Amino acid sequence: MGFKESFSLKDNELNEKRVFRDAIHDYIHVDHLIIWRLINSQEVQRLRRVKQLGGTYQVFQSAEHSRFVHSLGVYQVVRRMLETECLDDVLSDYDKLCVMCAGLLHDIGHGPFSHSFEGVFQGNHEDMTVRIILEESEVHDILASVDESLPQDVASIIQHTHPNQILIQMVSSQLDADRMDYLLRDSYMTGTTYGKFDMSRILRTMRICDGKIVYKESGVQAIENYILARYHMYWQVYYHPTARSYEHLLQSIFARVKDLYAQKFEFKTNLHFLIPFLENNITVEAFTKLDEAVVLYYFSEFMNEDDFILSDLSARFLNRHLFKYKELKDMTKLAKIKALADSLGYDSHYYIMSDNQKQVPYLHYGESGELSEIEILDREGQLSPLPSKSEIVSAILNSKKFKSDQKVFFPKEIKDEVSVL
Amino acid sequence: MGFKESFSLKDNELNEKRVFRDAIHDYIHVDHLIIWRLINSQEVQRLRRVKQLGGTYQVFQSAEHSRFVHSLGVYQVVRRMLETECLDDVLSDYDKLCVMCAGLLHDIGHGPFSHSFEGVFQGNHEDMTVRIILEESEVHDILASVDESLPQDVASIIQHTHPNQILIQMVSSQLDADRMDYLLRDSYMTGTTYGKFDMSRILRTMRICDGKIVYKESGVQAIENYILARYHMYWQVYYHPTARSYEHLLQSIFARVKDLYAQKFEFKTNLHFLIPFLENNITVEAFTKLDEAVVLYYFSEFMNEDDFILSDLSARFLNRHLFKYKELKDMTKLAKIKALADSLGYDSHYYIMSDNQKQVPYLHYGESGELSEIEILDREGQLSPLPSKSEIVSAILNSKKFKSDQKVFFPKEIKDEVSVL
Amino acid sequence: MGFKESFSLKDNELNEKRVFRDAIHDYIHVDHLIIWRLINSQEVQRLRRVKQLGGTYQVFQSAEHSRFVHSLGVYQVVRRMLETECLDDVLSDYDKLCVMCAGLLHDIGHGPFSHSFEGVFQGNHEDMTVRIILEESEVHDILASVDESLPQDVASIIQHTHPNQILIQMVSSQLDADRMDYLLRDSYMTGTTYGKFDMSRILRTMRICDGKIVYKESGVQAIENYILARYHMYWQVYYHPTARSYEHLLQSIFARVKDLYAQKFEFKTNLHFLIPFLENNITVEAFTKLDEAVVLYYFSEFMNEDDFILSDLSARFLNRHLFKYKELKDMTKLAKIKALADSLGYDSHYYIMSDNQKQVPYLHYGESGELSEIEILDREGQLSPLPSKSEIVSAILNSKKFKSDQKVFFPKEIKDEVSVL
Amino acid sequence: MGFKESFSLKDNELNEKRVFRDAIHDYIHVDHLIIWRLINSQEVQRLRRVKQLGGTYQVFQSAEHSRFVHSLGVYQVVRRMLETECLDDVLSDYDKLCVMCAGLLHDIGHGPFSHSFEGVFQGNHEDMTVRIILEESEVHDILASVDESLPQDVASIIQHTHPNQILIQMVSSQLDADRMDYLLRDSYMTGTTYGKFDMSRILRTMRICDGKIVYKESGVQAIENYILARYHMYWQVYYHPTARSYEHLLQSIFARVKDLYAQKFEFKTNLHFLIPFLENNITVEAFTKLDEAVVLYYFSEFMNEDDFILSDLSARFLNRHLFKYKELKDMTKLAKIKALADSLGYDSHYYIMSDNQKQVPYLHYGESGELSEIEILDREGQLSPLPSKSEIVSAILNSKKFKSDQKVFFPKEIKDEVSVL
C-alpha cells in the first residue's frame, strides 16, 4: 500500500487543536499540524500585508481586511465541505489533506495591490502560487516533509489538472470555497447586504454523482441567490468606479517606475525590493519579500523623486486625490481626451485611462474557458445544468444585452475641459 | 383656508412621544395622538390574534408573528419615507397623516387564517378594511374625530382611488412600505437570508418626478435585490408545499362547517361568532369579534362533533397531521385521485385538493391589473421603467417559461395508493 | 446486558433526517424517530398555542413566539452539548436519549399565560410536566414504546432526582440548555441586545470532572456575560412593569371566574374546558385541551357576561387597557389605595394589585434551593465555584442591597386620586 | 455679533452631501465642506495606514481595521448625539462644528503600532494630536480657514480645557463617542459578542442638566451593559496575552534600533523617516510621514542588518514567531528568568519582558484623574453618580480585589528552561 493510500489524518492531528475566532465563520478550526505550520509560514503570513480588496477599501472604507483572513476562510469552507456526509465518504485522507492545503494556499501568489501590479509586472498570480508551492519556499518544505508528491498534488488542484475533479471543484469552480468565503466576507466587511446567501443550505444539498459535485434540486434557490449575490457584489463593490480609479492610479505609478527604470533614470530611492520585477527576473524569494507595506513605503519615497509624474502620482495616491471619471459612450472620444490632456501638460500615457467592465453572472461549460457547469440532481436521479432548473439563471443567460460599463478616468484638474468634449 | 390645508401635525403631537422596541426597525416611533389612539383601538389590537403567515409557521416554526407587528412596521416604513427630503417637501401635513393611517390600517380587514377563510366565507380583505374604516368602528370614530373627511381619504388610499398617486404608491405598489416590511420581517422571523435587501439605500434614492415616486439610477441594484428577495421568499417560504397543505386543510374545515350549516346539521358547539359568516350577513362588529383564538377554540370543539369529516379534519389540524402532497404533472390524474379517495372512504370534496402556484417577480403596467411600474430617473432627468435599466429584471420578464408548481394534496393514509396511480 | 446498556441511538435513526429552519440556531436537526414522534404529539404541538413570554409581548410587541419553538431550541442546545467531546465520551446512548427528551418536554406542563394561571388554578408547572410524562398521554406512550422505564427516567431529570447529575445540569441548572435558548431567543425576538452571549465559547469550555459539568477557566468571561445577560433581560424584559400589569389583569380575571363559580354564578359561557380547573380536579386530558386560544375565546365571551367585574376586566385585557402602576415605597400606602379603590367602586380584590420583583444574578449552592454552583476548572485541575474566579460575580454576590422593585397596579380611571395619596 | 455667534452650519453645507457606507453605522454622513476637507487631508488619510488594534489582529485575525474608519465612526456618533433634541437645543452651530472636528481628529497623533512606539519614542499621542492641530499641517490650515480660533477651540476639547464641559464629555469621558465606536467596531470586526451594547437607547436617554450630559434613569441598564462590554473587551481582546506578546516584540525592536543608533551603529537601511524620532527632534511633518507601512518596510530591511538582535527580532515579528508567556505570580522570579536568558545568549533587555494588566470597569470622579462621573437623572430631577443607581457598578466598585494579570514573555526557544524555574 502506497503512502497516499495509507496516509491518515488522524495521525497528523495536533495534540491541542487550535482555533481562530473569525467574524464570518465564528471559529476556524485547525486540527492538523501541517495546516498549522503552513499558516505560520512566511509565504502565508505575508498575505497579512496584502489587502483582499486592493483599492476598493477607498470606497467601502471599513473593508480593510487582508488576503490572509480570506485564505483562512477558504480553508474553513473546504473543511466544512469535507464534513458533509457525501464528501467524507468519497475522499481519502490524503485527498482531504491536499484540498485543505490548496484552499489555504490558493492566493499566496498575489502581488501587492494585485491586479494593477500584475498588469504591469507579473504574469498570472496562479502561476506564482504554483511556483511558490513547487520551488524553494517554507510552504514547499512543509508540504514536502509529509510526502514528496504533496507539493505537486496541491499545485495540480490549483492548476485544474488534478485527476479528481471533485477537489478542483471545491477550490476553483463557479461555486467553490473561494467565492463563498469572499462574498460573505467582503459583504460583511463593506457592510452591504448584497453578498449574503445561504451557505449552510448549499452545503446541505451537495451530493456526489458521476465523480463530480452536484446539488440537489432543493438547493436551486440558494444557488440562485448566490449567483445574484455575486452579480450584485461585482457591480456594487468590485467594479465601483472609484475603486477602478484607484487601480488605474496604481497602475500608472507602476508603469512610470518601470519606464523610468528602462530609461536608466537615477532614483534616489533604494529600489532593491523591486529590481527583480523591473528586470523581469522574478524569483520566489524576491516575490515573498514584496508586500503592500514595501510598496507603500516606496510611494512615500517617490514623492521626493525628481520626476514630476512619479512624485505627483504617488502624492495623489497617498492623499487620495483620485482620478475623476465619466462614462465613455463613444470610443472616438478617448483619443480626443488624450490629446486634450497632453496639450494641458498631463502625459496621457499615465493620466488618461479607460476600461470596460462586464460581468456575466453564470457561464456555460466551455464559455470563456469555464471548466464546469453547476449541475443539479433531480429526484429521478437525472443531472441537468443549473440554467435548465432555474428560470432566473436561464433568463439571465438568454439575455444578450448584458450590462457593461465603459469609463474614462482623468485628473480632477482637467474636469471642466473634459466635460465639454 | 380649509381644514386640510390648515391641519398641522405639530399640533397633534403627543406630549410624551411613544416608542415600541422592534426587532426589525429597532424602534417604532409614535409621535401623534391619533396614531397612538388607532394602535390601541380594538380593530388594530385584534390583529395581535391573527398570524402574519397563516399556516407557514408550521414550516418555518419560529415565524409566529402577528399582523399587528407587521402593521406597526408598515406604519414605521411610511414614517421613514416621510422623513426623506423629497417627500417631506411635496406632501401636506394632512396627506402625511392620511398615509400614516393607511399604512397602519391596511390589514385590519384580514380574517383569521386569512387566505383559507376568505376563500370560503368572505370577499376580499381590502373591502373589509375599507368597510371598517368607513362604517361603525373605533377606528372610524378616531379618524372622524380629526375631520369628517379623514376616513374616506384614508380609505381611498387603500382603494387606489386617492387623487395623489404618491400616497397610493407608498402603501400599495410594486415597491411599497407593506412589501418592504413583510420581506424584512418574515425573513428575520423565519431565519432565512432570502428576504434581506437594502431598504436604506432604496429610500435614499427615492425622488418625486411627474407627481410620482421614482428612483435614481444608483438605486437600481438595491431594487433588483428587493425583487429577487421577493421572488425567493415566495418560493422558499410563502408557497412552501407544507404551508399550502395547511391552508388546504383549513379551507376544508371551513367548507365542511359551511356545508353542514346549510344542511341544518345540529352542532353541539355554540357557533355564534361564526353565524354571520355562515349566513353571509357579515357586519363590521361581527368581523371584529372573530380572530384566530376563536377559530382555534372552535376547532377544539369540533373534535367532539358527531360529523366524522369535521371532527377528523379538526384533529388533523390541531395535531399537525397535515395532508401529503405530490407534483401533479398531468391534470387528468386529479380525477383519478379523487375517485380513488372516494372509493377508499375519503370524501374527495374535502380530502383531495390541488393548486398551481406561480410567481412573477415583476409586472409591467397594466399586466394583471398592476397600477404602476417602478420607474427609474437617470442623470439626464429621463424616466424609464425598471426593466429597461435592469438586465436582471428585463431578462426575467422576457423569459416566457416561468416557474409554476402544480400539486395535489391528500391524506397520508392513502399515500401508497396515490403513488401508484 | 440490560436494555439501557444495549440501546443504540444509531438503530433509532430516521431514514430521512429532518430539519427545522430556526432563527436562533439556523437549523434544528431531528435524527431520531422518537424525537420526531414526540414533536408531533398533541402535548408538544399544544405548546404552539402557549406564548413563551406570557404578557411581555404587549411591551416587546415583536416577541410573539411560542413555547413550542423554545422547546425545540432547548432540545437543539442539548443536542449540541452532546456533540462536544467531553459529553460524547461519558454518556451512554440511553442517557443521551433521556436528556434529549427531557430538553424537548420540560415545558409541556405550562398552562395558558402560565404564571397568572398557575397563581390561581394550578400547582407547579413542573409537576404537571411530570404527570403528562408519567400518566396517560401521547408523550407517555411514545416514550414507553421505547422502554417501560423511559418515562420515569425522563421525568426524574426534570424532577432533579436522576442519579446522573450531568443530565440534570444540562436541562435545569444555573447554566443550562433552557436558559441558554430562552435568553438568545427572547433577545432576538424582542430586538434587544441584552440577552446575547457567546454560547459557542461556553460549550467549547465545558468539561466533565467529578461526575459533573464544569467549565475551563478560559470560559469565565463568556459565563460572566451570560449571567449579566440574564440579569439585564430580567429587568429590561421579563419584569417590565407593563408586562407585570398584564399578568395582574389576567390573574384578576382568573380569580373572578373562580370566585363566581364558587358562588354558583350562572355563566352564559359554556365553561366546559375550565370546569376541571375550577373544581380542582385537573386531569392530564383536561390540561392538554386547555391552551391560550381557548382562554382568549372565553375572554371574548366574558365580555357579554352579566357580572360587571368579569366583563370589564375581559374587555380591558382584549383591548389592552392595562392597569397603570406606580412605585410603592411605603407598604402602608397599599391599604390606603385599596380603600380608595373600594370607595370609588373598584373592588380592590380585583382592581388593586402589588408585587415586588427581585433578581439575584447568581446563587450559591443551597441558597434558595439552588442545587449546584457553576464550577470552574483551573489549569492545575482544581475546581472552584464561579465567584472565586470572577470578580464581577463575586462583587455582585457581596453586594447586599440588591435591586428590587415594588409596585402597585390600579385602573387608569383612578390615576389622579392614587397619585395624591 | 462675533464670528462664533454668527457662524451657521447651514452655510457650510456641501451642495451634494457625501456618505460613506460603514459596517457599524450603516452610513456615515458628511454634510459640511470642512469635514469633507478634513477627511481628505493627509493627516487623516495617514490613519488608513495605522491599525486600530495594533498587535491584537494577530489574535483576532479578522480585526484588521484602521484608525481611519474608527475616526470616521467617532465623528458619526458625535453627529448622532448632535441630532438628539437635548444637544440640538443647547449647542451653538460653532460648538457643533468644534465637536465634530474634535471627534474626527482625536486620533491623528497616534504613531505606528501606537502603544509600543509611544513607549520608546514619543510622548503622549494626545499631545501630538494637539500639535498637529495647532502647528503647520493641512488639518490646521483647513480649520484656520474657517476662523483663526477654530484650531485652538478644537484642541481644547481634546485637551479637556474647553469651557463647555458638554463638548469634552462627548469626545472624551467614561461614556463618549470614542469608546462607543471602538467597542462596537472592535467587537464586530473580531467577531466576538462582548462589545455589543444598546447605543440607541443610551443616546435616547441622554439629557442636559447643570451644563453637563447626564442620563435618565431608564438608561441605567443600557449603561451597565456598556460598562460590562468594555470590561469584557479589555480582558478578552485588548489584553489578550498573545496581543501583549506582539506589543513587547515591537517595543524590543524599537528599543534596539534606538540603542544601536545611540551607539552609532552603521545601519545598511536608510533610516531617514526615523531619524527625527531617534534624535528626539520630532516635527509634525516628520510625524505625518511615519506610518505602519514605513515601519514594516524597515522591519523587512532590518532582517538584513548585521546586528543579530535586530535582525532576529524583526524576523520573529514578520513571520509571527511571537514570544511565549507564563503567569508571573512571584516577582522575584523575573530576575531569575532574566539571568537565565542572559546565560543562554538572549539579551534579557530585549528578550525578557513583563507586564501587569489591570482594568477597572468604572472610576469615580478624581480617581486616576478621571474627570467626570456618569451621572443619572431620576424622575424627581435629582442627579446621582451611576454607582448609586446601579447595583452592578456599585458592587464592582466596592470589590477591592480586582483582576490583574502579571505575565512574563520570553523566546519560545527557552520555554523548557523557563518552565522549570
- Which pLDDT tens digit goes with each residue over B33-86? 999 999 999 999 999 999 999 878 778 889 999 999 999 999 999 999 999 988
pLDDT of residue B358: 80
Question: Do A100 and A219 belong to one domain?
Answer: yes
Residue A249, pLDDT > 60, answer yes
The whole-angstrom separation of Cα D34 and Cα A304 is 29
Residue whose C-alpha is closest to residue C185's, from C25, C373, C365, C59: C25
CB A200 within 8 A of CB A248: no
Nearest C-alpha neighbor of D273 from the set A109, A301, A314: A301
- Single out the residue of C401, C375, C402, C379 nearest to residue C389, CA to CA: C375
How crowded is residue C204: how many other Cβ atoms within 10 Å of its Cβ? 17
Average pLDDT, chain D: 91
D221 touches C: beta carbon within 8 Å: yes
B192 touches chain C (CB under 8 A): yes
Give the Cα separation of B27 and C61 in Å (integer).
11
The confidence score (pLDDT) of residue D365 equals 63
Partner C contacted by B318 (CB < 8 A): yes
What percentage of chain B has pLDDT greater than the value 90? Answer: 67
| Cell digits of residue C393 | 460575580
Strand-pairing partners, residue A358, are A404
Domain end (from A218, A238, A258): A238
Q: Which value, in Å, is the radius of gyration of the alpha carbons in chain A?
A: 23
Query: Does position A196 have pLDDT exceeding 90, yes or no?
Result: no
Domain membership flag for residue A375: no
Residue A140, CA distances (Å) to A101, A124, C319, D167 in order: 11, 19, 73, 57
Picking from D19, D27, D200, the nearest residue to B26 by CB comes out as D200
- Is pLDDT of B311 > 60? yes
**C200 and chain A in contact, CB less than 8 A:** yes
CB-based contacts of C414: which residues, under 8 Å, 6+ apart?
Answer: C340, C341, C344, C346
- Structural domain contains residue A397: no
* Neighbouring subunits of B (3+ Cβ pairs under 8 A): A, C, D
The CATH number of whichever domain residue A20 belongs to comes to: 1.10.3210.10
CA C127 to chain centre: 13
To the nearest whole percent, how much of chain A has pLDDT over 90?
67
Distance from chain centroid for Cα B378: 33
Query: B77 and B124, same structural domain?
Result: yes
pLDDT of residue B137: 96
Which chains does chain D touch, 3 or more C-beta pairs < 8 A? A, B, C
Task: Give the pLDDT band of residue C22 (cuts 50, 70, 90).
Answer: very high
Q: Please tell me the distance in Å from C201's CA to the nearest CA on chain A.
A: 10
Write down which residue in C217, C238, C259 finishes a domain. C238
Window from B20-24, B175-179, D260-264 with minimum mean pLDDT: B20-24
State mean pLDDT over C328-332. 87
Same domain (yes/no): C268, C176: no
Q: How far, in Å, CA of D405 to CA of D360, rounded?
A: 13
State the Cα–Cα distance between residues D416 and D48, nearest whole angstrom: 41
How confident is the model at residue C370, as a pLDDT?
A: 60
pLDDT at D43: 96
Fill in the DSSP letter of residue C1: -
Query: Tens digits of per-residue pLDDT, D251-305?
Result: 999 999 999 999 999 999 999 899 999 999 999 999 999 999 999 999 999 999 9
- Does C138 have pLDDT greater than 80? yes
One-letter amino acid identity for C153? D
CB crowding A107-137: b at 16 or more within 10 Å, else e:
bbbbbbbbebbbebbbeebbebbbbbbbeeb
**Residues D34-46, mean pLDDT to the nearest whole number:** 95
Q: What integer pLDDT is reported at residue B380 of this predicted model?
A: 87
3-state DSSP call for residue B324? Answer: strand
State the pLDDT confidence band at C318, using cuts at 50, 70 and 90: confident
C-beta of residue A189 within 8 angstroms of C-beta of residue A355? no
Claim to verify: residue A253 and residue A196 sit in the same structural domain: no
Q: How far is B16 from B30, CA to CA, in rounded Å?
A: 9
Pair D208, D283 in one domain: no
Measured CA to CA, the distance from residue C354 to residue C336 in angstroms comes to: 13
CA nearest neighbour of B410 among B298, B302, B321, B325: B325
User: Which residues, other chains included, contact C192 with Cβ-Cβ below 8 Å and sequence gap of 6+?
Assistant: B21, C60, C233, C236, C237, D198
pLDDT: which is higher, C144 or A401: C144
The string of DSSP letters for D141-172 reads: HHHHHH-TTHHHHHHHHHTT--S-HHHHHHHS
Count of beta carbons in the 10 Å neighbourhood of residue A262: 10
Gap between the Cα atoms of A386 and A214, Å rounded = 10
CB within 8 Å of A337: residues ≥ 6 apart: A348, A352, A408, A410, A418, A421
CA distance A256 to chain B (A): 35
Identify whether the C-beta of residue C199 lies closer than 8 Å to the C-beta of residue C73. no
CA distance B319 to chain C (A): 5
Residue A164's SS3 state is coil
Best of D329, D394, D399, D404 to substitute, by most chain C Cβ atoms within 10 angstroms, is D399
Distance from CA of C224 to the nearest CA of D (A): 9
Question: Do the Cβ atoms of B62 and C23 come within 8 Å?
Answer: yes
Which residue of chain A has the CA closest to C27? A200
With a cut of 80, say whether residue C397 has pLDDT above it: no
Taking the C-alpha atoms of residue D184 and residue D23, their distance in angstroms, rounded to an integer, is 10
Tell me what pLDDT residue A401 has: 59
Which CATH number does the domain housing residue D336 bear? 1.20.1250.30
The pLDDT value given to residue C16: 82
Q: B384 — phi, psi (to 5°)?
A: -145, 155
Residue C337 placed within a domain: yes
The answer, for D145 touching chain C at a CB cutoff of 8 Å, is no
Q: Does residue C246 sit in the same domain as residue C293?
A: yes
Domain boundary pick from A238, A272, A296: A238
Residue A379 counted as domain residue = no
The answer as to whether D273 is a domain residue is yes
pLDDT at D363: 72
Give the N- to C-terminal CA distance of chain C in Å, as an integer.
74
pLDDT at residue A167, as a whole number = 97
The answer to whether A19 touches A29, Cβ cutoff 8 Å, is yes
A285 plus A413 within the same structural domain:
yes
Residues D158 and D245 in one domain: no
Same domain, C68 and C34: yes
Relative orientation angle of helices A241-262 and A308-318, to the nearest 10 degrees: 150
Contacts with C399 from chain D: Cβ below 8 Å:
391, 394-395, 398
CB contact under 8 A, A395 and B396: yes
Going by pLDDT thresholds of 50, 70 and 90, the confidence category of residue C69 is very high
State mean pLDDT over B346-359.
91
How far CA C389 is from CA of B121, B293, C230, D325, D359, in Å, comes to: 65, 50, 19, 21, 16
Each residue of D208-227: pLDDT tens digit? 999 999 999 989 989 998 99
State pTM to two decimals. Answer: 0.87
pLDDT of amino acid C366: 60
Beta carbons of D119 and D251 less than 8 angstroms apart: yes
Flag whether pLDDT at A125 surpasses 70. Answer: yes
CB neighbours (10 Å) of residue A185?
A: 24
What ipTM did this prediction achieve?
0.89
Is the CB of residue D256 less than 8 Å from the CB of residue D350? yes
Task: For D389, name the nearest residue in chain C, comparing CA atoms only.
Answer: C403
Q: Let me know whether D19 and D135 are in one domain.
A: yes
The β-bridge relationship of strands C324-327 and C404-410 is: antiparallel
Same domain, B319 and B283: yes
Candidate from A289, A293, A320 with C-beta closest to D293: A293
Q: Is the pLDDT higher at B368 or at D173?
A: D173
> Range with the lowest mean pLDDT among A189-193, D333-337, D341-345?
A189-193
Which residue of chain A has the CA closest to C25? A200
How does DSSP classify residue A55? G
Q: Where are the beta strands (DSSP E) in A193-298?
A: 206-209, 212-216
- Model confidence pLDDT, tens digit, residues D47-85: 999 999 987 877 888 999 999 999 999 999 999 999 998
Contacts of B395 in chain A (CB under 8 A): 395-396, 398-399
Q: Per-residue pLDDT tens for D354-402?
A: 998 887 777 776 665 566 789 999 988 899 999 888 888 887 777 665 6
Total number of residues shown for chain C: 421
**Locus of grid cell 489538472:** A161
CB pairs under 8 A between B and C: 110
Q: What is the mean pLDDT of residues C333-349?
A: 95
H or E stretch at B311: helix B308-318
Rounded to whole angstroms, the Cα distance separating D157 from D166 reads 10
Give me the number of domains chain D comprises.
2
What is the spatial distance between Cα B185 and Cα B66, in angstroms, rounded to a whole number? Answer: 11
C-alpha cell at B314: 379538526
Quick one: what percent of chain C has pLDDT higher than 70? 96
Domain contains D222:
yes
pLDDT tens per residue across span B365-411? 666 556 678 999 998 889 999 988 888 888 777 765 566 789 999 99
What is the percentage of chain D residues whose pLDDT exceeds 70? 96
Which structural domain, as residue segments, surrounds residue C103? 3-238
Q: Strand A206-209 and strand A212-216: pairing?
A: antiparallel
Classify residue D382 by its DSSP letter: -
Element (H, E) at C315: helix C308-318
Other CB atoms within a 10 A radius of the CB of residue D404 amount to: 12
Domain-located, residue D90: yes
CB contact under 8 A, D300 and A294: yes
- B196 band by pLDDT with thresholds 50, 70 and 90: confident
Q: Cell 415594588 appears where? A: C406
Whether residue D229 is found in the same domain as residue D247 = no
| Tens digits of residue pLDDT in D110-156 | 999 888 888 888 678 899 999 999 999 999 999 999 999 999 999 99
Whether chain C has a CB inside 8 Å of the CB on D197: the answer is: yes
Question: CB of C30 within 8 A of CB of C22?
Answer: no
CA of C154: how far to CAs of A386, C30, C126, in Å?
48, 18, 13
**Per-residue pLDDT reduced to its tens digit, C117-133:** 888 886 788 999 999 99
Average pLDDT, chain B: 91
Question: Does some domain include residue B175?
Answer: yes
